């Protein structure tokens, strides 16, 4: 299959597929004599794996590790579980940070009149850096 057909099948752009190849998520793709990439069913399966991992917010580096384990039939499931548990911890930390950001925004928006006047506590707080520690 060519890159356009693969892009249509997996649901993202040819540019993204080339990006995944350039950062090592996809193995080197065979080419025709004219230089066009030739994709196989295994490439599509790998791209779908990447899509599923991305939907769970795994980073590209984490996906590289998961792909290596997925392709290694001698792996131990404990290795996969360790990666997944570490990712759960990262997600829980992000949830805490997001909840803190929501709390800060709720606090400052409750102080805003939201009327035709120029003064705005939301902008004032942003200027002063309120919430800057919740990156």
* pLDDT one-digit tens code per residue, 85-132: 999 999 999 999 999 999 989 999 998 988 998 989 899 989 988 766
Structural tokens at position 17:
């597929």
pLDDT for 133: 61
Please write down the HEC assignment for all residues of 35-86.
CCEECCHHHHHHHHHHHHHHHCCCCHHHHHHHHHHHHCCCCCHHHHHHHHHH
Q: Which residue has the tokens 């599923």?
A: 52
Q: Which residue has the tokens 């030739």?
A: 38
Mean pLDDT of the chain: 92
pLDDT for 131: 64
Q: Is the pLDDT of residue 135 over 60?
A: no
% of the chain at pLDDT higher than 70: 96
pLDDT for 27: 87
Question: Which residue pairs from 23-32 have beta carbons closer than 8 angstroms and sit at least 24 positions apart in sequence?
Answer: 23/60, 24/64, 25/50, 25/60, 25/63, 25/64, 25/67, 26/50
With 0.85 as the threshold, say if the pTM is over it: no
- Rounded Cα distance between 10 and 132, Å, is 39
């Amino acid at each position: 299959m060519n890159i356009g057909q693969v892009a249509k099948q997996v649901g993202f752009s040819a540019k993204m597929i080339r990006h995944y190849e350039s950062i090592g998520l996809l193995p080197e793709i065979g080419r025709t004599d004219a230089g066009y990439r030739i994709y196989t069913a295994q490439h599509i399966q790998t791209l779908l794996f990447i899509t599923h991992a991305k939907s769970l917010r795994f980073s590209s580096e984490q996906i590289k590790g998961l792909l290596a384990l997925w392709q290694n039939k001698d792996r131990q499931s404990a290795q996969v579980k360790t990666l997944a548990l570490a990712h759960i911890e990262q997600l829980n930390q992000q949830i805490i940070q997001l909840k803190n950001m929501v709390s800060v925004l709720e606090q400052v928006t409750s102080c805003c009149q939201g009327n035709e006047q120029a003064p705005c506590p939301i902008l004032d707080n942003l200027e002063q850096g309120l919430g800057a520690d919740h990156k």
